[in-house]
Amino acid sequence: MELFHTPEQALQWADANRDRTVGLVPTMGALHEGHLSLVRQAKRDCRLCCATIFVNPTQFAEGEDLGKYPRTLDADLAGLADAGCDAVFLPTAEQIYPPGFSTYVQPPQVASGWESSSRPTHFRGVATVVLKLFHLVPTSHAFFGQKDYQQLCVIRAMSRDLNLPVQVVGCPIIRESDGLAMSSRNRYLDSDQRLRARLLSLALAQADQAIENGVHDVQALQQLMTQTLSAGTVVDAGGATATVPGIPVGGVDSIDYAVLLDADTLQPIEHLQQPFVGLIAARFGSTRLLDNRVWQPVQ
């Protein structure tokens, strides 16, 4: 696996391989199975895979976890090599944002609301760095996890609106054995928070069950998700039942949103007659966790 520390090296590699399909996997490091599944998907779809590791300062607001964002470079490189990655680009902040840098991408409409309500400049930073990475390592494909669903919508819309010559591929969420969506931030959770973090996937599973059982009212389904998150639920724990306690309202942990939206525009819906997505965000202390599930239209 080749390592590139300068944009020139990365561009040279991409240029030398321009006749091959190449999959780009942008990451901020602290890699887990979710990231490695993107590399494996890239290797299935493309001849070569190049990952990037860059903790992008412009997508963190003042007071967010930029300083304490986990840095696990040795383990990341070992995991990437193991997953079959061919090259890794490791730029510095000065290379991406040299002195005088002042041009940002105005994110598309789909960036409005949801994550932007509590992180207003987040998608501006994501769109800007992703566009820069697409230019620095020009590839035929780019792979992103569906766990950050609004981010995936933003990158798809940006690529479409700006005619970027790269195919954006969304990849399935990879989950822990109890259903928690894998995230670099899960490591911040204490044991109580880790227990309650299961509620995100459980709330989506309950909505799924309710839809199967014929509940097609959007408000009722949203209420069911919120109710599961706040009241907790009973789960099967190896044959016995166990209670997962709810996320207390008004505590340090809180539910941010639990909504059903149009799967492409992320606008509210009244019926389930188009592809739709259940989006959930909750805070566990200073850690923000996201989960989602996409459904096809219900007739």
Asked if 291 is part of the footprint of ligand PAF (rule: CB under 6 A), the reply reads no
Residues 76, 86, 148, 253: which binds ligand PAF (CB under 6 A)?
A: 148
Asked if 152 is part of the footprint of ligand PAF (rule: CB under 6 A), the reply reads no
**Contact window for ligand PAF (CB under 6 A) among 43-51, 89-97, 106-114, 126-134:** 126-134
Asked if 146 is part of the footprint of ligand PAF (rule: CB under 6 A), the reply reads no
| CA–CA dist 11, 202 (Å, integer) | 44
Q: How far is the CB of 270 from ligand PAF (least distance, A)?
A: 31
Tokens 């911040």 identify what position? 188
| CA–CA dist 129, 187 (Å, integer) | 25
Residue 83 corresponds to which tokens in the numbers above?
Answer: 């997953």
Asked if 27 is part of the footprint of ligand PAF (rule: CB under 6 A), the reply reads yes
Asked if 130 is part of the footprint of ligand PAF (rule: CB under 6 A), the reply reads yes
| CA–CA dist 159, 66 (Å, integer) | 26
Known binding positions for (R)-pantoate: 59, 151
Is the CB of 126 or the CB of 181 nearer to ligand PAF? 126
Is the CB of 58 or the CB of 140 nearer to ligand PAF? 58
Q: How many binding residues for ligand PAF (CB under 6 A)?
A: 10
Q: How far is the CB of 92 from ligand PAF (least distance, A)?
A: 14
Residues 17, 41, 56, 159: which binds ligand PAF (CB under 6 A)?
A: 56
**Contact window for ligand PAF (CB under 6 A) among 3-11, 22-30, 200-208, 290-298:** 22-30
Question: Quick one: residue 141, left, alpha or beta (phi over 0 = left, psi -120 to 50 = alpha)?
Answer: beta
Asked if 28 is part of the footprint of ligand PAF (rule: CB under 6 A), the reply reads yes
Residues 23, 26, 79, 138: which binds ligand PAF (CB under 6 A)?
A: 26
Is the CB of 123 or the CB of 260 nearer to ligand PAF? 123
Asked if 128 is part of the footprint of ligand PAF (rule: CB under 6 A), the reply reads no
Known binding positions for ATP: 28-35, 145-148, 174, 182-185
Residue 49 corresponds to which tokens in the numbers above?
Answer: 């895979």
**Contact window for ligand PAF (CB under 6 A) among 20-28, 92-100, 193-201, 217-225:** 20-28
- The question of whether 216 is a catalytic residue gets the answer no
| CA–CA dist 163, 284 (Å, integer) | 38
Contacts with ligand PAF by CB under 6 A lie at 26-28, 56, 59, 126, 129-130, 148, 151
Q: Mind telling me the catalytic residues?
A: 35
